[in-house]
Structure 1
Amino acid sequence: MSLSIVDNGRELFVVKLIERGEKIDEHVQREIMNHRSLKHPNIVRFNELRNLERGVDILVATPGRLVDMIERARVSLRMIKYLALDEADRMLDMGFEPQIRRFVEQMEMPPPGARQTMLFSATFPTEIQRLASDFMSNYIFLAVGRVGSSTDLIVQKVEFVQDMDKRNYLMDLLHTQCDNGAHGKCALTLVFVETKRGADALERWLSMNGFPATAIHGDKVQMVS
C-alpha cells in the first residue's frame, strides 16, 4: 500500500487483526518519516495510551478495539478526513460488520461528503457492495482482474489424507512433478500450512529430503533487493 500524506490530515486505517495492524503501523512509519509536512508524526498502538491522548495524525486500529477506545473517550473521530477499511470481506466474514457500522455511522465520524473513504477487498460480494453504498457517495470501483472469478488455467483437485500421512503424500506429489517435468526439472511448488512453526519444520524436512525449500511467514525478515 502506498500512502499520500496530506498536511494537517487525519487518517484512520481499520484492519481485521492486531498482527496485521502492527505491520501497517510499521510500514506507515517508514513512509512518513521523511515527509516534510509531518514534522512530528504521532503513530501509536493502543497500548500507548498516553501518546494516544495527545492526538495522532494516523491511527491504525482493529474494529472491536476502536469501538472500545471510543466508548472510553480515548479516541474521537470528529477530525477524520480519510477512512481506509482493509480486507473488508475478511472483516465481514469474521463478524465485525456491527462494530464497523457503529463507528462509521454512530460515533461522530464525519459524513461521506466530509471524508474520503477507501475500501479494499479481495472479493466484492453483495455485502461488500452494500457496505460501499452505505459508507460512500458515488464511489468509484477499481478492479484488478475479474472480480469473483479465477483463471481458467487452474485445475483444482482435492485429496483427503490423514495427518500422519501428509508428508509422505507431499513427497510423492513432488517426485511425480519432477518425473513429469521437462528434462526432469521439478516445477515450482507453493505449500500452505497452518502455523509458522509448521512452515519452518516443513522447510527443514523438505531440504533434508533433497527438495530446496524456504518458509515465508510474518516472523521472517523481509529483504527487498
Structure 2
Amino acid sequence: MTFKELNIIEPILKAIEEKGYNMPTPIQEKAIPVALAGKDVLGCAQTGTGKTASFAIPIIQLLQNSKEDAKRKGIKALILTPTRELALQISECIDDYAKYTRVRHGVMFGGVKQGSQVNMLQRGIDILVATPGRLLDLMSQGYVHLDQVKYFVLDEADRMLDMGFIHDIKRIVPKLPKEKQTLFFSATMPAAIVSLTKTLLRTPVRIDITPESPTVEAIEQFVYYVEKAEKGHLLISLLQQAKNQSVLVFSRTKHSADRIVRVLTKAGIGSQAIHGNKSQAARQLALGNFKSGKTRVMVATDIAARGIDINELPLVINYDLPDVPETYVHRIGRTGRAGNTGKALTFCSREEVQLVNNIQRLTGKKLREAELSAKTVVRTLVS
C-alpha cells in the first residue's frame, strides 16, 4: 500500500514524497484511515515504527479540509508529549508534513524563557505540541485556552506515567471540550495505561501492531555479567572495538551520565552527556552533534533520550539497567529503526541480576550472554 491509497490530500502527499516516504508503516497504514474517519484511536506500537505520522498527518488533513476551522481562531489540536526533545521532534515532523498547507503549529516546553512561546500563541496557531508542565504554567497565566480543541493526542502515554505526569494530565483533560477526537499512542500497554484510556477514549479503535511490550526483532540483544567497578573498562573496550560507529549509552542518573563522559574523555573517546540538568541549548547542541556524527558517543538518561531519533543508530549500550522493565523496551528501540538492524548490549552487575530477569519475563525473550574477547580485560561475575 502507498500513502496515496490512504486518501491523503495532495499538499500532504507532496510533502511526504519530498521526505522520500512512499510506503506507510503498519501503524500508519492502520491508524491514518481510522483517524481520518473521526474515530478515537488506541495505538500500541514499538518506538521507531512511525507513530508520529499516524496522528500528525490525519490532524493536518482534517484541519486543512475544514472551512469552519479556517475561520475559527484558537488552538484546534493539542499534542501532549513527555519531554522537550520529543516535543521538538514532533514539531519538526508537523513542519515537514504541513509545509504546503495553511495549517499553523507551535511547540512549547520548559527549560527556556516563555517569551517566544507566548508570542507564538498570540500570533495564533492551529496545532500545539506541548509538555505538560509548561502547558499548565501558561494556562494558569491565561495565555493558553483549550476550549476550541477538536483533536487531542496523548503520545508516549506509558512514558508519561513513568515520569509522573498522570496528575498533570488529569488537570489538563477537564479543560478540553467533551466533544473531541482523542488519539492515544503508547509503545507498551500496561494495566495503568488501559485504565487511563477508559476515562479518555470513546469506543476507540484499538490498533496493536506488535505484541504488548515486545522488543524489535531486528535488534540483537546481549548481556554482559560484569562487576560494577569494571563497567567503565568494559565500555571503553567495546567502544574502541566499535571504531567509528555511533553509540548511545544509557545511564540511570544525571550524575552517572556525567561521570561516564569523564571516564571516556580520559580514555580519549569523544562523548557528550544529555540529561535534565543541561540547558535546552546545550541539549540541542549535543543532539545535533550526535545526529551529524560530530560526536560519536552520546551518554543519556532515559528522559533526555526520548527525542533521539536516528534511523541508522547501530548500537545501544545499557551501562546501568533501568528499574522498570518497560523502560528497557524504550531504550533499545532507539536502534533497529526504519527497517534497519541494530544491537543492544546490557551491562549487568551482581545487584542488577533481578532486573535482567524482569526484562526477560516482560519481553519473553532471553538475553544472550555475550562472550568477552581477548581485547576486553574485565572481571566478570562468577556464576
TM-score, structure 1 normalization = 0.70
Q: 1:74 aligns with which of 133, 138, 143?
A: 143
TM-superposed CA distance for 1:174, in Å, is 8.8
- Cα distance change, pair 218–144 in 1 and its aligned pair in 2 (3 A): farther
Structure 2 residue 98 is matched with structure 1 residue 19: no
Question: What's the CA shift for 1:70?
Answer: 1.4
Contact 2:87 2:107 in 1 (8 A): no
1:28 aligns with 2:94: yes
Q: Is 1:43 matched up with 2:106?
A: yes
**Match for residue 168 of structure 2 among 99, 103, 125:** 99
- Structure 1 gap segments, 5+ residues each: 178-187, 207-216
- State how 1:1-225 maps to structure 2 within 5 Å: 1-2=52-53, 3-4=56-57, 5=60, 6-7=63-64, 8=69, 10-35=76-101, 37-38=102-103, 41-45=104-108, 47=114, 48=116, 49-104=118-173, 106-107=174-175, 109-111=176-178, 114-150=179-215, 157=223, 159-163=225-229, 165-170=230-235, 192-194=249-251, 195=257, 198=261, 201=264, 205=269, 218-219=287-288, 220-221=290-291
Q: Which residue of 1 aligns with 2:34?
A: none
Residues 145 and 44 of structure 1: is their aligned pair in 2 closer, same or farther, counting only changes over 3 Å? closer
> Shift in Å at residue 56 of structure 1?
1.3
Tell me how far apart the structure 2 counterparts of residues 30 and 204 of structure 1 sit (CA, whole Å). 38
Q: What's the secondary structure of 2:142's corresponding residue?
A: coil
Name the CA distance, whole Å, in 2 between partners of 1:43 and 1:172. Answer: 44
Would the aligned equivalents of 1:14 and 1:84 in 2 still touch at CA under 8 Å? yes
Return the letter of the residue paired with 2:95: Q
Q: Could you list the per-position Cα deviations for residues 45-79 of structure 1 after superposition, in whole angstroms to 9, with x for gaps in the alignment?
A: 36321221233111111112212221211111111
What secondary structure, in the 3-state scheme, does the structure 1 residue paired with 2:186 have? coil
Contact 2:107 2:130 in 1 (8 A): no
Amino acid at match of 2:80: V
- The superposition leaves residues 155-183 of structure 1 with CA deviations (integer Å, 9 ceiling, x where unpaired) of 764524334x33533577799x9xxxxxx
Q: Quick one: structure 1 residues 149 and 28, their matched pair in 2 at CA, closer, same or farther if it must change by over 3 Å?
A: closer
Separation of aligned partners in 1, 2:148 and 2:269 = 53
State which drifts further: 93-102 or 22-31. 22-31
Question: Structure 1 residues 171, 51: CA separation in 2 closer, same or farther (over 3 Å shift)?
Answer: closer
Runs of 4+ in 1 over 3 A off after TM superposition: 149-158, 170-175, 188-191, 193-199, 201-206, 221-225
Q: Is the 8 A contact 2:108 2:134 kept in 1?
A: no
Q: How many corresponding residue pairs?
A: 197
Identity of paired residues, percent? 28
**Whose Rg is larger?**
1
Coordinate RMSD, CA, aligned: 3.7
Cα-to-partner distance string for 1:122-160 (whole Å, 9 max, x where unaligned) = 110111111111101011111121113458997764524
Distance in 2 (CA, whole Å) between partners of 1:102 and 1:56 is 22
The answer to whether the Cα contact below 8 Å between 1:29 and 1:43 also exists between their aligned partners in 2 is: no
The Cα of 1:205 is off from its aligned counterpart by 3.8
Change (3 A) 1:189 1:156: farther
Residue type of the partner of 2:79? F
Tell me the secondary structure at the aligned position of residue 152 of structure 2: strand
Asked whether the equivalents of residues 89 and 123 of structure 1 are also in contact (C-alpha less than 8 Å), the reply is: yes
Contact 1:88–1:120, Cα closer than 8 Å, also in 2: yes
Contact 2:149 2:177 in 1 (8 A): yes
Q: Which runs of 5+ in 2 are unaligned?
A: 1-51, 71-75, 252-256, 271-285, 293-309, 313-383
Q: Which has the higher strand share?
A: 2
Question: Per-residue CA shift, 1:9-42, capped at 9, x if unaligned?
Answer: 721110111222122222222221222x43xx24
- Retained in 1: the 8 A contact 2:108–2:135? no
